[in-house]
Amino acid sequence: MIRDIIELQLELHKKRRPYALATVVEILGSSSAKPAAKALIGLSGKVIAGWVGGGCAQSMVSNAALKCLETGEPRVIEIDLNDEVFGAGMPCGGSMRVYVEPILPKPLLWLMGHGRIVESLCEFAYRLGFEVVVNDPQATTECFPSAHSVINDDSRYQQLRPQPGDFVVIATHHKGDYDSLVRTLQSEALYIALVSSRKRAKLVLERLEKEGFSEPSLAKVRAPAGLDLGAKLPEEIALSIVSEMVLVRRGGLGGVLSKGAEY
């Protein structure tokens, strides 16, 4: 069973699928599960591999797993196997403690383009826990040592396939703005940003509107990208963009902390 769990974990990791890992850490009295027993719980709350008990115990573990996946925080739950009313209501008696840990894939950032802004953004994002894919004909692994993957044989950006929750920053110096945005807007990416001037952003969005993209879809595009930090240098512009990414990821307000009472 442990081997099955490990193999499934590897498969889920490869597919970037979130799940929770439940482990029995302590048992007092009698229980159908054993210490160190494990189970994997998917996004639906269903046990997809392993065993940590049946009946209501499984239900309690599944509920805890869903909360962990929502908050991103692990927790220890105590299941009373004696109390038919207030506990899990299992006839075997005893109690057990289960450690439930969310296993979440790193957020994925698609960087379309090259240059100092993109290079700095790749490094910043890597340090903040993002998995970075750079896609540009001129991109090299030497320029992007922190990237998880570098794609430089995809001039039409056919390999750009954002999944729900992904981040996409487009900085192609006009060359691939339109093609990249067309593909990205057909996805459920969480964050879509275009590095450009306001004039250029307006032209690109107007073209997309003429091509049939709806106003709500185009409203998802953050153009120009980033927060207003007064950035001038490429590294500062990259910092403003990654700051906006953190804002979106963490659900922040973007205000000044020293004036917190005012926002």
- pLDDT one digit per residue (tens) for the chain, 263 residues: 677 899 999 999 988 899 999 999 998 877 778 899 999 999 999 999 998 887 778 889 999 999 999 999 999 999 887 653 444 444 556 789 999 999 999 999 999 999 999 999 999 999 999 999 999 999 999 999 999 999 999 988 899 999 999 999 999 988 889 999 999 999 999 999 999 999 999 999 999 999 999 999 999 999 999 999 999 999 999 999 999 999 999 999 988 888 865 54
Same domain? For 120 and 240 the reply is yes
Residues 134 and 200 in one domain: yes
Q: Please state the domain count of the chain.
A: 2
Q: Would residue 257 count as lying in a domain?
A: no
Domain boundary among 103, 126, 149: 103
Could you give the residue ranges of the DSSP H alpha helices within 186-233?
A: 198-210, 215-218
For 75-84, what is each residue's pLDDT tens digit? 999 988 765 3
Q: Are 228 and 210 in contact (CB under 8 A)?
A: no
HSE of 235, CA atoms in CB hemisphere, 13 A: 2
- Please tell me the pTM assigned to this model: 0.80
Q: Does residue 121 sit in the same domain as residue 79?
A: no
Nearest to 169 by CA among 128, 217, 220, 118: 118
Question: CATH code at 189?
Answer: 3.40.50.720
Range of the domain at 42: 2-103
What is each CA distance from 59 to 88, 235, 250, in whole angstroms?
A: 8, 49, 29
Rounded Cα gap, residues 137 and 115, in angstroms: 12
Residues 21 and 149 in one domain: no
Q: Mind listing the pLDDT tens digit for each residue in 125-148?
A: 999 999 999 999 999 999 999 999
